[in-house]
Amino acid sequence: MELFLDDHTKKAIELIRSLGKEYLRPLGIEADTLARAIPPDHPFFQLIASSGYMSRGLGSAQDTATKSKSGDTKNSRPGTWVCNVLIAEEGSYWDRGALVSLPGPGLGGPPVLQMGTLEQQSRFLSVFRQRERPVWAAFAMTEPEAGSDVARIRTNARRDGDEWILNGQKMYSSNSPRAEWVVVFATIDIELGRAGHRAFVVERGTKGFEILRIEHKMGIRAYETASFALDNCRIPYENLLGGENYYSEKGKKGFEGAMSTFNATRPIVAAMGIGIARAAYDIALKFVEEDYPKHAAGRLRKALEQLAAMQRKIMLSRLLCLKAASLLDQGKPNALAASSAKQYAPPMCLEVVEHATDILGEAGIAKDGLLEKLARDVKAIDIVEGTQQIQRRVISKNIISR
């Protein structure tokens, strides 16, 4: 689909495409084979840091300072989220795991941008504007007893003078073992339910923060997904995202902050599935064009129908993601569109990978073929940032409230 894109977006897609071919795909395959993440000291990450990639989508430090003076909190560059969605798709076409392993704020960026004060945005995001060393951030909501139902989080935050003390356990937090800081969602009082939710930034080296386990995943192995403990973890009072006022304005603000983060990240994760599906589609298309067995003319018709269905599913999924991102860029509510994209795209992408495997037959499941890896990678997209069932709940709530 031809979109009208500004020069910034075109350049960003071009950059990720060239990185994808040369680095993301080979490094992703290597990580998958070795069943370990790309090490943080890998020279590729240094290259990414020096390219300025880490500050993509953050706006300049000057922008933040100017906005701070004017009181404006909006994103200064139009089209940021559409650009993010397109980058997510293109990068995942080459390797979704390697894309997520890239240094930068990652899932930690949206809550800081959406909930943080301008001072906090400047304090936590400026490290991504330097080009000397690769730096990561992470996001931690999920707990052993709170996955889909984020309202059930039990990690506790207690104020003690100029500090907050955090206690609890988080799991499946992507890139957290190498993160400069992690946005941790916690509750100040379980009895308050969602109104008790707060978001904190826990910085690297904080005493009491301990990585417990790095998961062995079925796919997307190029980045680490880890559990960690917070054991009497003392953090500065100023690390409460948004400050106390943010939460006192309206009861459920902490929870709403988390939800607005999801509204920004769901279209991105959905677009990652599209990238994987596109890679599978290209493999199937090439096979039909170049290697389809001459004696199988009868089966060819079915393969062509499958290719047409794959193409349609990819296009529809992409349109949903772009709609959700475009609404966000315009500052309009996008919960319905974001959940629709996240609910629709991953199962469609799973089907696309399945069709591609059908078309290739035995070659589709060969261990040394890329398709087998894509099939393992794509499943995670269905779970991350809320499963289909959870998206359906959000969608129905939005429909009914109308």
Ligand X SMILES: Cc1cc2nc3c(=O)[nH]c(=O)nc-3n(C[C@H](O)[C@H](O)[C@H](O)COP(=O)(O)OP(=O)(O)OC[C@H]3O[C@@H](n4cnc5c(N)ncnc54)[C@H](O)[C@@H]3O)c2cc1C
84 binds ligand X (CB under 6 A): no
Place of tokens 């897609």: 13
Answer whether 143's CB lies under 8 Å from 169's CB: yes
Q: Which of 184, 350, 352, 380 binds ligand X (CB under 6 A)?
A: 380
Residues that bind ligand X (rule: CB under 6 A) add up to a total of: 22
* Residue nearest ligand X (C-beta atom): 147
Residue 173: CB minimum distance to ligand X, A: 5
Q: How far apart are the first and last CA of the chain?
A: 32
Answer whether 235's CB lies under 8 Å from 202's CB: yes
Please identify, among the stretches 2-10, 239-247, 277-285, 376-384, the one whose residues bind ligand X according to the rule CB under 6 A. 376-384
Q: Which of 23, 139, 181, 246 binds ligand X (CB under 6 A)?
A: 139
383 binds ligand X (CB under 6 A): yes
Residue 108: CB minimum distance to ligand X, A: 9
Length of the chain: 402
Please identify, among the stretches 72-80, 135-143, 241-249, 331-339, the one whose residues bind ligand X according to the rule CB under 6 A. 135-143
Please identify, among the stretches 116-124, 155-163, 170-178, 360-368, the one whose residues bind ligand X according to the rule CB under 6 A. 170-178
Q: Which of 173, 187, 227, 261 binds ligand X (CB under 6 A)?
A: 173
Closest Cα partner for 80 from 56, 61, 107, 63? 56
Q: Which of 18, 60, 148, 396 binds ligand X (CB under 6 A)?
A: 148
142 binds ligand X (CB under 6 A): yes
Helices and strands, number each (H, E), in the chain: 14, 7
Binding mask 321-360 vs ligand X (x if CB under 6 A, - otherwise)? ----------------------------------------
Buried-exposed string 291-310: b where 16+ CB fall within 10 A, e elsewhere: ebeeeeeeeeeebeebbeeb
What would you report as the CA-atom Rg of the chain, rounded to the nearest whole angstrom?
21
Between 117 and 142, CB nearer to ligand X: 142
Between 320 and 380, CB nearer to ligand X: 380
Residue 217: CB minimum distance to ligand X, A: 6
Residue 318: CB minimum distance to ligand X, A: 22
Place of tokens 């589609």: 281
3-state helix, strand and coil shares in percent for the chain, rounded to the nearest 5:
60, 15, 25
The amino acid at 19: L
Tokens describing residue 199: 């978001």
Residues with a catalytic annotation lie at 385
Closest Cα partner for 356 from 280, 292, 289? 280
Which residues does 201 contact at the CB level (< 8 Å), separation at least 6? 112, 120, 124, 181, 182, 183, 184, 235, 239, 241
147 binds ligand X (CB under 6 A): yes
Whole-angstrom distance, CA of residue 41 vs CA of residue 139: 21
Tokens describing residue 177: 């073992």
Between 138 and 336, CB nearer to ligand X: 138
Q: Which of 389, 399, 400, 401 binds ligand X (CB under 6 A)?
A: 389
Q: Mutual orientation of helices 25-34 and 370-383 as an angle, nearest 10°?
A: 90
Please identify, among the stretches 74-82, 113-121, 147-155, 352-360, the one whose residues bind ligand X according to the rule CB under 6 A. 147-155
Whole-angstrom distance, CA of residue 354 vs CA of residue 129: 41
Residue 391: CB minimum distance to ligand X, A: 9
Between 245 and 389, CB nearer to ligand X: 389
Between 153 and 359, CB nearer to ligand X: 153
Site residues for ligand X, window 180-219 (CB under 6 A)? 217
Q: Which of 174, 206, 239, 340 binds ligand X (CB under 6 A)?
A: 174
Other beta carbons within 10 angstroms of residue 229's beta carbon come to 15
Contacts with ligand X, residue ranges (CB under 6 A): 107, 139-142, 147-149, 172-174, 217, 220, 225, 380, 383-387, 389-390
